[in-house]
Amino acid sequence: MESAIFYFFSTVSVVTAFVVAASRRPAYGALALIVCLLGVAGLYAQLGATFVAAVQIIVYAGAVLIVFLLVIMLLDLGGDTPFKDRPRRLGWAALPVGLVLFAVLGTVVARTSPPVSNEATDEAMRGTAARLGEFLLTDYLAPFEATGILILVSLVGATWLVRR
């Protein structure tokens, strides 16, 4: 059962990722990314990070990507210009980079030792909202606050950048 859920969500994520990477139009890519994010959220949930999964759906898929779509529609971007019409510098690098990257990362993964799994750790890493909230507001307070400032700064910056 678990494997089924895992494979489902992973397949969704990977396939839509392909679509993002290969789509001609940004609009298609954005939509595919939304689905991909949802798939990854599912993976988060399966890992026990339920709060993170929820945030991913609400914030990432549900706000950031919507803004993306908004911008795409606002700027009325069509698709890419046809392939044959302009020089494709380094476009050839796409596949090799991807393969090599995967190879390297895969090697790293293969070296990862399996986790020590027992009741205590399972209990410890169950990421409910309450526990994560407590964690963020105590041990991770500094990054938390810094992130708040970062968001403020980006707000101001984005607003300024867009003015006419």
Using CB under 8 A as the binding rule, whether residue 51 contacts other proteins is answered as: yes
Interface with other proteins (CB under 8 A), residue total 97
Nearest approach, Cβ of residue 135 and other proteins (Å): 5
Using CB under 8 A as the binding rule, whether residue 60 contacts other proteins is answered as: yes
**Residue of the chain from 84, 107, 119, 130 that contacts other proteins (CB under 8 A):** 107
Using CB under 8 A as the binding rule, whether residue 141 contacts other proteins is answered as: no
Q: How far is residue 19's CA from residue 37's CA, in Å, rounded to a whole number?
A: 13
The 3-state DSSP class for residue 86 equals coil
Amino acid at the residue 3: S
Using CB under 8 A as the binding rule, whether residue 77 contacts other proteins is answered as: yes
Under rule CB under 8 A, which residues in 84-103 are in contact with other proteins?
A: 86-91, 93-95, 97-102
**Residue of the chain from 84, 109, 119, 130 that contacts other proteins (CB under 8 A):** 109
Using CB under 8 A as the binding rule, whether residue 56 contacts other proteins is answered as: yes
Is residue 34 a contact partner of residue 15, using CB atoms and an 8 Å limit? Answer: no
- DSSP state letter for 83: G
Using CB under 8 A as the binding rule, whether residue 52 contacts other proteins is answered as: yes
Give the containing element (helix H, strand E) for 69: helix 65-75
Using CB under 8 A as the binding rule, whether residue 129 contacts other proteins is answered as: no
Is residue 68 a contact partner of residue 30, using CB atoms and an 8 Å limit? Answer: yes
Q: How far is residue 38's CA from residue 62's CA, in Å, rounded to a whole number?
A: 10
